[in-house]
């Protein structure tokens, strides 16, 4: 009886010509070989300090050509499930999705699979050659929303540079919150920012929204606040790496910080577990006309109630509120979703007039 698929792979070990390249050049060379039609897609790329990319025939790209043994199986990018060395009965428990932040893979591993965490990590690294580290994710902790991570394969490091929409974000995934799934939101919001706008990013992390806005648009200023000192340290580095101006990093509790900064045309509230607690603070820091981008994890059947709550808060603040965009961006549990709402909050003319009299 075959217990490990691993044995099967070695049953069909095959000799092949290969190109030896430095790991940092790996992805570029693999793509080139693929374009030239000489990449042997039926064999698994080997990795140690170098990468050995199997090829179908000799070619001259200026790299050393060798002959080596390869595991014979066709795997596609991300197809790590086929090559994990675990008993077959557990294979269906392997997660289908995982996060990639820069060159680090982060995967949630259920208890039954924990004895095989190294194998899972190794398979991820073999299936995606641009990865250098695999981490097991043991959940998010404390108010800074930091993931409890364990490096299970590859280099023992947790710092990386993540690229999205032409910006680079340096991040230590074990010390600050970061999600690659926010990239399209960073970009969607940045596209809306008008010239000379003042923006407040209340929960900036390493600056995903703030840096994206400053890179792609011409805001007057983006105040970028986070309570986590390490996150603000990375934000400062990201401002330099991306050569952006007009981002003002501030470390502290947004509730307190907001009282001492100028009012904004646009406020981003990306603290989905407790955004509602900060909504009044955002209203007080918004100009007479402004937009709030509000994220919350909420029971599906409570979304309409929440919209009513937000409207009431606006009324108390002398404003009318209009929801101009509403989308559920992620399912959290069978009943909970993460929603994003863009809400336009406008002071009634009489409130503006009253304020003018004081
Ligand atoms: C969901 S993460 C933000 C991610 C970030 N917007 C991005 O795009 O990568 C929430 C952030 O809020 C920060 N935070 C939590 N409570 C805070 C508070 N009271 N004031 C300021 N920042 C806070 C956490 O440290 C964390 O970095």
Q: For the chain, 358 residues long, give each residue's pLDDT as a single digit of tens.
A: 223 333 233 345 678 999 999 988 888 898 889 888 898 877 778 888 899 999 999 988 899 999 998 876 544 445 788 888 888 788 889 998 899 999 999 999 999 999 999 999 999 998 887 899 999 999 887 888 899 999 999 999 999 999 999 999 999 999 999 999 999 999 999 999 999 999 999 999 999 999 999 999 999 999 999 999 999 999 999 999 999 999 999 999 999 999 999 999 999 999 999 999 999 999 999 999 999 999 999 999 999 999 999 999 999 999 999 999 999 877 778 889 999 999 999 997 666 666 655 5
Atom of ligand 1 nearest to the CA of 254: 20
Which mutation among 200, 271, 294, 339 tests ligand 1's pocket best, with the greatest number of atoms within 8 A of CB?
Answer: 271
Helices 208-216 and 229-241, packing angle to 10 deg: 20
Handedness of CA 151, 154, 158, 163 (dihedral sign): negative
CA–CA gap between residue 261 and residue 320 (Å, rounded)? 23
Atom of ligand 1 nearest to the CA of 201: 6
Q: Given this model, what pLDDT does residue 4 score? A: 30
Q: Is 226 in contact with 268 (CB distance < 8 Å)? A: no
Instruction: Provide the mean pLDDT of the chain.
Output: 89
Give the residue, by CA position, lying nearest to ligand 1 atom 4.
Answer: 205
CA–CA gap between residue 128 and residue 45 (Å, rounded)? 9
Give the residue, by CA position, lying nearest to ligand 1 atom 1.
Answer: 271
Give the residue, by CA position, lying nearest to ligand 1 atom 27.
Answer: 205
338: Cα within 13 Å, side-chain hemisphere: 16
Give the residue, by CA position, lying nearest to ligand 1 atom 17.
Answer: 227
User: Which tokens sit at 94?
Assistant: 């392997």
Atom of ligand 1 nearest to the CA of 228: 25
168 DSSP β-pair partners: 163
Closest to 179 in 3D by CA, of 113, 270, 110, 278: 270
Helix and strand counts by DSSP (H, E) for the chain: 10, 17
Compute, in angstroms, the gap from residue 37 CA to the centroid of ligand 1: 46
Chain centroid to Cα 224, Å, comes to 18
Look at residue 67 and give its three-state secondary structure: strand
Q: Is 346 in contact with 289 (CB distance < 8 Å)? A: yes
Closest to 301 in 3D by CA, of 339, 272, 264: 339
Give the residue, by CA position, lying nearest to ligand 1 atom 19.
Answer: 253
CA–CA gap between residue 355 and residue 358 (Å, rounded)? 6
Q: Pocket residues for ligand 1 (CB within 6 Å)?
A: 143-145, 177-178, 182, 186, 203-205, 208-209, 225-228, 231, 253-255, 270-271
Look at residue 324 and give its three-state secondary structure: strand
């Amino acid at each position: 009886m075959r217990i490990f698929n691993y044995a099967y792979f070695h049953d069909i070990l095959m000799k092949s010509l290969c190109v030896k390249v430095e790991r940092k050049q790996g992805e570029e060379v693999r793509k080139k070989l693929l374009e030239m039609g000489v990449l042997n897609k039926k064999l698994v790329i080997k990795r140690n300090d170098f990468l050995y990319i199997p090829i179908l025939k000799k070619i001259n790209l200026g790299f050393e050509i060798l002959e080596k043994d390869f595991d014979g199986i066709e795997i596609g990018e991300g197809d790590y499930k086929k090559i994990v060395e675990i008993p077959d009965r557990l294979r269906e428990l392997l997660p289908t999705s995982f996060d990639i932040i820069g060159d680090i893979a982060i995967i949630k591993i259920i208890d039954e699979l924990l004895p095989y965490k190294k194998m899972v990590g190794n398979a991820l690294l073999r299936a995606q050659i641009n990865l250098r580290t695999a981490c097991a994710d043991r959940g998010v902790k404390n108010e800074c929303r930091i993931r409890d991570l364990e490096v299970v394969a590859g280099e023992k490091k947790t710092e990386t540079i993540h690229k999205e929409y032409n910006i680079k974000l340096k991040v230590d995934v074990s010390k600050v919150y970061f999600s690659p799934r926010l990239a399209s939101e960073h970009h969607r919001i940045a596209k809306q920012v008008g010239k000379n706008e003042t923006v407040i990013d209340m929960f900036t992390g390493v600056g995903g929204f703030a840096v994206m806005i400053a890179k792609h648009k011409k805001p007057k200023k983006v105040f970028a606040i986070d309570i986590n000192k390490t996150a603000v340290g990375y934000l400062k580095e990201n401002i330099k790496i991306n050569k952006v101006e007009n981002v003002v990093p501030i470390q502290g509790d947004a509730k307190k910080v907001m009282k001492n900064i100028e009012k904004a045309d646009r406020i981003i509230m990306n603290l989905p577990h407790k955004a509602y607690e900060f909504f009044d603070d955002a209203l007080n820091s918004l100009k007479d006309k402004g937009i709030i981008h509000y994220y919350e994890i909420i029971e599906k059947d409570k979304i309409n109630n929440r919209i009513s709550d937000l409207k009431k808060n606006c009324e108390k603040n002398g404003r009318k509120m209009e929801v101009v965009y509403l989308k559920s961006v992620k399912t959290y549990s069978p009943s909970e979703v993460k929603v994003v709402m863009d809400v336009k909050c406008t002071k009634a003319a009489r409130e503006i007039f009253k304020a003018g009299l004081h």
